[in-house]
Chain A
């Protein structure tokens, strides 16, 4: 969903994260206008002029791009990077958020907005419906386990089924660790839920898919914990 672009201009560098290439152009234009267009390098100029006409559309886009730094202009092209899994949310049937993990930089306000919207959308769906849905530019993969909804946002070209099984593996890990996990375990031991998730997924990518290995890592940490307690 996010494209992060880094620009350097006149020795200053900046980072722009955008929802789409169109909002990119919109922001770029405003950045360029401020910076004075005379030094614009050719390719960007062309892109800009080709898309400037779409400005009206751009303005209507829900753009939550963050602009860091001063003025930006690309030197020798720009890089567009895509994050794989965008975020993971766990929430109850009542819509209470139990765990949130964000793999893209977003403001707190934006996170809250996304959460609110998504919880509403997912809770409104009927049981037999498909586990995937298109939401904004993303694909949402979700599954309900007892009273909890597990919900991941992935990129358009990502594999939905394997994401569904990522959710399942995480549930298995929690289940094994807590011994038949329930919502209360996650509420009272939220920090553990985060630790387990970090061992399993890092930066939105699977780090270790073996159940044994993940649990071994957590076990070791718990041993250290006990040692430090008895020490």
Chain B
């Protein structure tokens, strides 16, 4: 061992480092560094050529300064110069500088690559290693381009020194990671695989990392490595601790290589060859046996190395998941570690057991450790260990132990670290739902959850409890009673108020018989919380109040009083004010029958994936989900929700909040002109009677929006699939009906003796939303009611298949204008009346191109300038036609405004004429339009002229408008 001379003669460097260390303050340090940088700069720029030693010294100083955290913007050239020095130490410093401070300056990269090339071909193993280290450290694409073909050759050449082979293997690995396309193994594959048989353990250790990475990507090509790896492993495992000389680490033979071999095997399924498999199982058993032997050394390194192999072997056993015997043994071994005095081992045992819990062979064995794990959750001093314990409890939970585990997790929540509370809450909520045998237990659990950790209970959790209570009538009474009791606590969490408000509003009547929870008591209890709550909660409470008026007419006066007071009816928050006003009005004008219908109990929610599970998946990322999904697959039955829709494909279910985004993006892009309007619907149904729906649809959905905006369109029961019969051709009067809506957005689209279809629509730029109200005018139910919107050949979506007699359902269509179009989308409606024939009618949806107008105000000069610009013959469309309707000025103005354009005054020299301007917004472009309408009152004629930047639009608008006047 050579004596280490500090700084290797670079005295200047040592002095500089001492100086920096002696600096008393940050400022002094910066001052000293700036002085040094100035010095180095002047040295590099100076006329006198620097000798190699000085260059090395200064480059080293720069490196030191950089590593202190300061920026270095020069010296790269000097470092590159050092690379071509024939003095090893200068070369070494040059390479170090390049490795640490590489910079994608292409000029420099070329020079660096040149120097590397020289060193690689120098046949001096030390220089070759330096060059390879540099490539591995930098690993840029340019380097891959330059050396990816050269390095495999070095790796497998017979005369390459072992140390160079090692560097070459890992260097190649790094290049493969950066630029897999440039590293072509082809002809080298089998020779690389055979490095597993190399005499030199170091070569095997380095090569196996490369082989593992390559087999992950091309498992078939590298398949032969399995048997080689097994035999190598078996030789190591069975060797005595002294056989491998320096590769024995604290009496453990080749721990790194063993781990890497076991890891490589995890890229493949269990070996098919019986002999190979037998040998491997033997190895794994030996490893498990060794764990039981008394330690050969008291040093922690010995046990760490030994256990590293053991854990890797257990990973392989879990990966195979086919040897029940090994799985159970692994579980027992981990069980011992659960009570080990080493924190590290306890941590790893908990973590590893989590994966074991998902195997059907070892699930039961894992469950036997429940007491130890619970104890760990309570007593571990390190939060990361407690977190692992919580994870394991979650993983080992099933029907048999759910109550115990949930109870323990709940009690842990009271003292849990803030960092993990939210996740714990989600887990408790999921377990409670998944393994609930009686719903009262479920409701209790969730309410406890809110009580203990209300702040961490996300919306999804309380939505879910409400969904379940609404869908399960056997638990409604109990839920009402329990929330009522929970609300009596002097301080309760806002989430509790939300749940309480919702549930009492729906099911308060179920407990009203008890004088202790009479309607007024319930109301007063809820209202006592009102003023402490946030706006959304208050809005919810207001809706609960109106529901109370319906449930308990005796509370009407009290509640109206509350609604009438200034703090409600004049509330500065628009939403609250609107609700107060509307509810007050509703309660005073509507008859009890009407109230009862409007405020009917919420219909059951469609069964779907639990929103909390989706949230947990998102939170934990795909890795953590696999455990849960395995669980689901194996123990599917008995979910509270009964939904089997939890397959692996649900991992990507859009979150509720992102729902709209998801739908929007699914719109066909660049569709042909004729089906340019993408109509997307999002359906909600509320059992309102027709005339009230307009006033209420704005506020009731707002109340329940959190619950109804879940991704639902795809999950509607398949039974509502439309009848196979073809849609009828459009009604003869369809065009006429369409024309009624050119200048207005709301009204009745269609009516016959059975059905009335009302429309409300709003447009903004290129987007629109249309509410369709289907009213059943008869007293009998419509069955298999389906509607299909096609813009020709487009999307269709199911509607609630039943429309009760006298009822109305609502459908919402979201519309996006992709490009200009002339044909309106078609709406096909099919339904059968009880005993009657199938009704099949097709209408045109009143979506016309002018709906996407944005009015444009402009001056007279602007107008005429533009008018002249649009002077190509096809840009203009003109029509002279007889007046069909009144020529009254006000009527005309209203129509032109309804068209969506700006009506411009004082532009046309003739004041009788009308001039309008607007821009049609489509997704792909904006189309400017100018309009001139010249009435001739005497002849009862009009002349209509349109000029648009797009000819098809002029024509279409002209056709549409000619029908309007």
Interface of A with B (CB < 8 Å)? 4, 6, 13, 15, 20-21, 37-38, 49-57, 68, 79, 81, 83-84, 97, 99-100, 105, 108, 112, 126, 128-134, 137, 156-157, 159-162, 164-166, 168-169, 176-179, 185, 187-192, 194-195, 198, 202-203, 205-213, 215, 217, 219-229, 231
Measured between beta carbons, the chain A residues less than 8 angstroms from B553 are none
Instruction: Report the Cα distance A195→B89, complex, angstroms.
Output: 11
Q: A54-B658, A130-B382 are in contact. Are A205 and B311 (CB under 8 A)?
A: no
Q: A53-B654, A97-B69, A162-B308 are in contact. Are A221 and B177 (CB under 8 A)?
A: no
A134 to chain B, nearest CB (A): 7
Instruction: Report the Cα distance A185→B346, complex, angstroms.
Output: 35
A63 to chain B, nearest CB (A): 14
Measured between beta carbons, the chain B residues less than 8 angstroms from A190 are 63-64, 67
B816 to chain A, nearest CB (A): 15
Contact B92 A105 (CB under 8 A): no
Instruction: Report the Cα distance A166→B205, complex, angstroms.
Output: 13
Chain B residue at minimal CB-CB distance from A132: B347
Choose from B173, B202, B623 the contact partner of A156 (Cβ within 8 Å).
B623
Choose from B1, B170, B618 the contact partner of A215 (Cβ within 8 Å).
B1
Contact B171 A161 (CB under 8 A): no
Contact A100 B67 (CB under 8 A): yes
Measured between beta carbons, the chain A residues less than 8 angstroms from B173 are 203, 205
B665 to chain A, nearest CB (A): 5
Choose from A4, A20, A130, A215 the contact partner of B347 (Cβ within 8 Å).
A130
Instruction: Report the Cα distance A168→B256, complex, angstroms.
Output: 13
Instruction: Report the Cα distance A131→B652, complex, angstroms.
Output: 34
Contact B7 A159 (CB under 8 A): no
Contact B7 A189 (CB under 8 A): yes
Contact A159 B382 (CB under 8 A): no
Q: Is there a chain A Cβ closer than 8 Å to B877's Cβ?
A: no
Instruction: Report the Cα distance A154→B249, complex, angstroms.
Output: 22
Contact A130 B308 (CB under 8 A): no
Choose from B170, B346, B652 the contact partner of A51 (Cβ within 8 Å).
B652
Choose from A38, A100, A128 the contact partner of B669 (Cβ within 8 Å).
A38
When each residue 171-183 of chain B gets 1 if its CB lies under 8 Å from chain A and 0 otherwise, what string results?
Answer: 1011011111100
Measured between beta carbons, the chain B residues less than 8 angstroms from A161 are 304-305, 307-308, 311, 344, 348
Contact A225 B384 (CB under 8 A): no
Enumerate B324-369 residues with CB–CB distance to A below 8 Å: 343-344, 346-348
Instruction: Report the Cα distance A220→B125, complex, angstroms.
Output: 11
Q: A54-B658, A221-B88 are in contact. Are A165 and B623 (CB under 8 A)?
A: no
Question: Which 4 A-B residue pairs are closest in the complex by CB-CB distance?
Answer: A53-B654, A53-B662, A161-B308, A162-B308
Choose from A99, A131, A177 the contact partner of B1 (Cβ within 8 Å).
A177
When each residue 729-772 of chain B gets 1 if its CB lies under 8 Å from chain A and 0 otherwise, what string results?
Answer: 00000000000000000000000000000000000000000000
Q: List 21 A-B contacts (CB under 8 A).
A: A4-B177, A49-B666, A53-B662, A54-B654, A57-B618, A68-B141, A81-B213, A129-B384, A161-B307, A161-B348, A164-B308, A165-B256, A190-B63, A194-B96, A202-B174, A203-B170, A203-B171, A205-B170, A209-B257, A210-B202, A219-B2
B647 to chain A, nearest CB (A): 14
Which stretch of B129-137, B408-416, B453-461, B793-801 is in the interface? B129-137
Measured between beta carbons, the chain B residues less than 8 angstroms from A189 are 4, 6-7
Instruction: Report the Cα distance A135→B611, complex, angstroms.
Output: 27
Instruction: Report the Cα distance A169→B308, complex, angstroms.
Output: 14
Q: Is there a chain A Cβ closer than 8 Å to B259's Cβ?
A: yes
Q: Is there a chain A Cβ closer than 8 Å to B269's Cβ?
A: no
Measured between beta carbons, the chain B residues less than 8 angstroms from A6 are 179-181
Q: Is there a chain A Cβ closer than 8 Å to B933's Cβ?
A: no
Main secondary structure of the interface of B (DSSP, over half): helix
Contact B655 A53 (CB under 8 A): yes
Measured between beta carbons, the chain A residues less than 8 angstroms from B176 are 81
Q: Is there a chain A Cβ closer than 8 Å to B964's Cβ?
A: no
Instruction: Report the Cα distance A220→B174, complex, angstroms.
Output: 26
Chain A residue at minimal CB-CB distance from B656: A53
B961 to chain A, nearest CB (A): 34
Chain A residue at minimal CB-CB distance from B71: A108
Measured between beta carbons, the chain A residues less than 8 angstroms from B906 are none
Instruction: Report the Cα distance A209→B657, complex, angstroms.
Output: 52
Contact A210 B246 (CB under 8 A): yes
Contact A188 B126 (CB under 8 A): no
When each residue 42-68 of chain B gets 1 if its CB lies under 8 Å from chain A and 0 otherwise, what string results?
Answer: 000000000000000000100110010
Contact B93 A191 (CB under 8 A): yes
Chain A residue at minimal CB-CB distance from B615: A57
Contact B662 A52 (CB under 8 A): yes
Instruction: Report the Cα distance A202→B304, complex, angstroms.
Output: 22
Instruction: Report the Cα distance A52→B659, complex, angstroms.
Output: 10
Which among B8, B257, B666 has the highest number of chain A CB atoms within 10 Å? B8
Instruction: Report the Cα distance A110→B382, complex, angstroms.
Output: 29
Contact B209 A205 (CB under 8 A): yes
Chain B residue at minimal CB-CB distance from A198: B133
Contact A132 B246 (CB under 8 A): no
Choose from A20, A202, A219 the contact partner of B136 (Cβ within 8 Å).
A202
Measured between beta carbons, the chain A residues less than 8 angstroms from B180 are 6, 79, 81
Q: A53-B662, A129-B343, A129-B381 are in contact. Are A165 and B249 (CB under 8 A)?
A: yes
Q: A79-B217, A132-B347, A198-B133 are in contact. Are A159 and B308 (CB under 8 A)?
A: yes
A121 to chain B, nearest CB (A): 11
Q: Is there a chain A Cβ closer than 8 Å to B301's Cβ?
A: yes
Measured between beta carbons, the chain B residues less than 8 angstroms from A169 are 249
Contact B304 A165 (CB under 8 A): yes
Q: Is there a chain A Cβ closer than 8 Å to B296's Cβ?
A: no
Measured between beta carbons, the chain B residues less than 8 angstroms from A203 are 136-137, 139, 170-171, 173-174, 177
Q: Is there a chain A Cβ closer than 8 Å to B622's Cβ?
A: yes
Contact A191 B60 (CB under 8 A): yes
Contact B344 A37 (CB under 8 A): no
Q: A21-B622, A190-B64 are in contact. Are A209 and B202 (CB under 8 A)?
A: yes
Measured between beta carbons, the chain A residues less than 8 angstroms from B857 are none
Which among B133, B180, B301 has the highest number of chain A CB atoms within 10 Å? B133
Besides the contacts A162-B304, A176-B1, A227-B88, what 7 more A-B pairs have beta carbons closer than 8 Å?
A53-B662, A79-B217, A97-B67, A178-B4, A188-B6, A189-B7, A190-B67
Instruction: Report the Cα distance A100→B471, complex, angstroms.
Output: 58
Contact B311 A159 (CB under 8 A): yes
Contact B179 A202 (CB under 8 A): no
Contact B670 A195 (CB under 8 A): no
Q: Is there a chain A Cβ closer than 8 Å to B255's Cβ?
A: yes
Measured between beta carbons, the chain B residues less than 8 angstroms from A228 are 87-90
Q: A129-B381, A179-B4, A202-B170 are in contact. Are A53 and B312 (CB under 8 A)?
A: no
Contact B670 A221 (CB under 8 A): no
When each residue 139-178 of chain B gets 1 if its CB lies under 8 Å from chain A and 0 otherwise, what string results?
Answer: 1010000000000000000000001001100110110111
A194 to chain B, nearest CB (A): 6
Q: Is there a chain A Cβ closer than 8 Å to B201's Cβ?
A: yes
Contact B652 A50 (CB under 8 A): yes
Instruction: Report the Cα distance A113→B344, complex, angstroms.
Output: 27
Q: Is there a chain A Cβ closer than 8 Å to B9's Cβ?
A: yes
Which among A21, A37, A50, A212 has the highest number of chain B CB atoms within 10 Å? A50
Contact B343 A130 (CB under 8 A): yes
B315 to chain A, nearest CB (A): 8
Measured between beta carbons, the chain B residues less than 8 angstroms from A192 are 4
B855 to chain A, nearest CB (A): 30
Contact B167 A207 (CB under 8 A): yes
Instruction: Report the Cα distance A132→B657, complex, angstroms.
Output: 35
B911 to chain A, nearest CB (A): 49
Measured between beta carbons, the chain A residues less than 8 angstroms from B637 are none
Which among B89, B96, B205, B669 has the highest number of chain A CB atoms within 10 Å? B89
Measured between beta carbons, the chain B residues less than 8 angstroms from A227 are 88
Contact B301 A162 (CB under 8 A): no
Q: Is there a chain A Cβ closer than 8 Å to B679's Cβ?
A: no
Q: A162-B305, A228-B89 are in contact. Are A133 and B259 (CB under 8 A)?
A: no
Q: A52-B662, A81-B180, A191-B60 are in contact. Are A224 and B88 (CB under 8 A)?
A: yes
Choose from A50, A108, A188, A198 the contact partner of B7 (Cβ within 8 Å).
A188
